[in-house]
A = this chain, B = another copy of it.
Amino acid sequence: MHGRANLTAMRLMDACEHLLCEAEALEDLTARRIAIEAHATPSAISYHFGSQEELVAAVAERVYRRLNAERLSLLRRAADRRAPDPPDLDEVIAALVGPSIRWSIDPTSSYPVLSHFTSMAKTHRERAPHYRRIIDNVEHHRAFVPHLKRIAPWLDEVDIGWRLNCALGIRSQVTRSRSRTEVLTNYSIDLDDPDVVIARMVEVIAPMFRR
């Protein structure tokens, strides 16, 4: 049935996720290593997932779901706290960038999976469409639009979306280009303290939504 609910399929996903977190570089992730860690053979990967890339995609999708759930939960909490008034802008921004920031700092999180996954999309041609569908899935980001619109009603939806997109750019710059960030800020910001980093990001992003 080529199913992924299978036991060894699960073990393969877990092994793949673990190796992706430990791996400094993508070349450290090989089908043989995954198989060994899962007590299986490389053929099992092809059998259950079609290819190694699709296994990685399945793993990445699983991690993405966890991260997005956390984000949306924070957004909901921010909305509920002030309802029926519009939520607090700083809190919404913290919900948007917070989980990614915390994950990227926490050495026990599976954040490396996501960072490796996005760069894999540019390595492989065949599966790229499937990869892009996962990476470019912005549904969970769209959920922020109506709340931001209530906060800044003078902006139309395109303006909101554009600013949201810019905020995402800042987010990935901080999470993924750490050394650049360090150098440009003269090593004067404690990038290991998520609260400090989030506050810094709010300081820059919030003005985008103010008059």
Contact = CB atoms under 8 A, between A and B. Distances in A.
Interface of A: 24-28, 115-116, 119, 122-125, 128, 132, 135-136, 138, 141-142, 157-158, 161-166, 168-174, 177, 179-181, 183-186, 188-189, 200-201, 204, 207-208
Contact of A173 (B165, B181, B185, B200): B165
A27 B123 CA distance: 6
B183 A136 contact: yes
A144 B190 CA distance: 23
B186 A158 contact: yes
23 contacts: A25-B122, A25-B124, A26-B123, A135-B180, A136-B180, A138-B180, A138-B184, A158-B185, A162-B181, A162-B184, A162-B185, A162-B189, A162-B200, A162-B204, A166-B201, A166-B204, A168-B177, A168-B180, A169-B174, A170-B170, A170-B173, A204-B208, A207-B208
